[in-house]
A and B are shown apart, each in its own frame.
Chain A
Amino acid sequence: MDVLLDGVLALCLPLLAWLVLRTESLSQAVVLFVAFGLLSALGWARLEAPDIALVESAVGTGLTGALLMHTLSWTEETPPDIRARGRRRPWALLAVAASTLMLGWAVLALPADSPGLGPLVEARREESGVKHPVTAVLLNFRGYDTLLEIAVLLVAALGARAVNPRSERPTPDAGDDPLTGELFRMMMPALLLVAGYLVWVGDHGPGGAFQAGAILAGGGVVALLTMRMGPPRLSSWQVRWALLTGPMLFIGVAVAPLFTGRRLLELPRPYAGTLIFVVELALTVTIAMVLLMFFPGTRPPRAGAEGEP
């Protein structure tokens, strides 16, 4: 039964990927991409990686899908070049087939069982301050990666804003729709509860700052799309603080051990758990704000009806 599920999932994923790229309508391609992402979240769950399944479905699929859909309303939807397939040279197909076979062979040639770094992490997990191995790796053993990742996020958000400096900012307009407001008020506490739970549970189970930040950002995106909120302005000090608390706190925690004769990011053992929790809380705020900043406001309705099917 397991083999059947794994086999069908493993077959469906490349097939769906091919469909995404083959579909002529862009909006259909984005919808198929979201379906692809959700299926791959199922694949992550089957590979016993629940943290990744959560991040994939929240960030990789939910927010990316919304972002791409939103972009289609900004860029004019010219149909992609259908003749591109005809232009493909046979030697290109041959090269791709050869490289696929080579990669597949390389993967299969790897030893069938390798403990990797798992036992090492397991042996040192007591010292990390948290019980969940993935969180221990993310925020303690490989804290460098996460620190630099936050920097990448910040740079991407600033870059996205710099490229479109004077994007139209519609004024927030709650609209005349009582149902939307009521549903929004119902959704917000649930969002906060789930986000808080995810940060807290990251200590001993799958969860953490990225998942929680993505959920908060999702609420913000809904507020943006229903015009209850304008896109965050870089000039407001709240936005600046939200963007900077995570990195500043993380850098502070990383640098502080240097003054007591330890090394960079070497968290003192009795406080490691608390420090990680505080850093994760601050990172949640930053990640939510960065993800929200990726979204431009809704396009003013000057373009009228788009030729969407």
Chain B
Amino acid sequence: MNPWAVYALSGVAMFSVGLVGLFSHQHVVKRILASNIAGSGVLIVLVALARRAPSGVPDPVPHALVLTGIVVSVSSTALGVALARRMARLRADAARASEPPPGSGGEGP
């Protein structure tokens, strides 16, 4: 088997693993991790396909696309993380509001 095909199949497997994780997990951080993993799988498939050139020099256009893709996935991760932080704070506020006043203070010292 060609080396590029090995990596392309590996990328497909990573995508599937990430997809399963995305749908089977409830926790936000796990979902962010899963979507990152699925994204990495797609990017690996792209670069593996760029490797097919008969001249041996890989095609630079998918490389540039993948560079863009990694940076965009980082910014989407950062936005997801910011939303997760917001959710955690809202949940903490709600928990504090529903608690009786003497027991306030979160987890306690």
Q: List chain A positions with a Cβ less than 8 A from chain B.
A: 2-3, 6-7, 9-11, 13-14, 17-18, 20-21, 26, 29-30, 33, 36-37, 40, 43-44, 46-49, 51-52, 55-56, 59-60, 63-64, 67-68, 71-72, 74-76, 78, 80-81, 84-85, 87-88, 92-93, 96, 99-100, 103-104, 107-108, 110-119, 121-122, 133-134, 136-138, 141-142, 145-146, 149, 152-153, 155-157, 159-161, 163-164, 167, 210, 287, 290-291, 294, 296, 302-304
**Are B25 and A84 neighbours in the complex by a CB distance under 8 Å?**
yes
> Which residues in chain B, 1-31, are within 8 Å of chain A measured between CB atoms?
2-10, 12-21, 23-30
Q: Mark B52-68, 1 if CB is under 8 A from A, else 0.
A: 11110111111111111
Q: How far is the CA of A75 from the CA of B83 in the complex (A)?
A: 11
Determine if B26 and A84 form an interchain contact, defined as CB atoms under 8 angstroms apart. yes
Residues of chain B within 8 A of A72, CB atoms compared: 29
| A74 and B61 contact, Cβ closer than 8 Å, known pairs A21-B37, A59-B70 | no
Q: Say whether B33 contacts A20, CB under 8 Å.
A: yes
Residues of A within 8 A of B60 (CB): 117-118, 121, 133-134, 136-137
**Bound Cα distance from A104 to B19, whole angstroms:** 15
In the assembled complex, the Cα of A103 lies from the Cα of B76 at a distance in Å of 25
Is B96 part of the contact surface with A, judged by Cβ < 8 Å? Answer: no
> CA of A84 to CA of B89 in the docked complex: distance in angstroms?
24
Closest to A14 in B: B13
Contact A104 B9 (CB under 8 A): yes
Inter-subunit contact A164/B66 (CB<8 Å) = no
In the complex with contacts A116-B53, A159-B79, A26-B29 CB distance below 8 A:
yes
Residues of chain A contacted by B32 (CB below 8 angstroms): 68
Chain A's nearest CB lies how many Å from the CB of B15?
7
The distance from the CB of B28 to the nearest CB of chain A, in whole angstroms, is 8
Q: How large is the interface on B (under 10, 10 to 19, 20 to 34, 35 or more residues)?
A: 35 or more
**Does A56 contact B70, Cβ atoms closer than 8 Å?**
yes
Majority secondary structure of chain A interface residues (helix, strand, loop or mixed): helix
Given contacts A107-B5, A108-B5, A121-B60, contact A134 B67 (CB under 8 A): yes
Q: A85-B24, A107-B8, A117-B59 are in contact. Are A51 and B109 (CB under 8 A)?
A: no
The contact string, 1 if C-beta is below 8 Å from chain A, for chain B 35-77, is: 0110011011101111111110111111111111011111111
Query: What's the nearest-Cβ distance from chain B to residue A58, in Å?
Result: 10
Q: Are B74 and A63 in contact (CB under 8 A)?
A: yes
Q: Give complex CA distance A92, B72 in Å.
A: 29
Known contacts A80-B27, A118-B57, A156-B78; A14 and B10 CB within 8 A of each other: yes
On whether the beta carbons of B10 and A10 are closer than 8 Å, the reply is yes
Find chain A residues with CB under 8 A from B106 CB. Answer: 302-303
Report the bound CA distance from A287 to B61 in whole Å: 22
16 pairs, CB–CB < 8 Å, chain A vs chain B: A20-B21, A21-B25, A40-B40, A44-B47, A47-B44, A49-B47, A63-B74, A81-B26, A92-B23, A93-B20, A141-B61, A142-B61, A163-B86, A303-B107, A304-B108, A304-B109
Given contacts A13-B13, A137-B60, 12 further A-B contacts (CB under 8 A): A48-B58, A52-B70, A55-B70, A60-B73, A72-B29, A103-B16, A107-B12, A114-B49, A115-B55, A145-B65, A163-B79, A304-B107
Does B9 lie within 8 Å of A107, measured CB to CB? yes
Q: Chain B residues near A76 (CB, 8 Å)?
A: 88, 91-92
Q: A290–B28 Cα gap in the complex (Å)?
A: 23
A48, A59, A107 — most chain B CB neighbours (10 Å):
A107
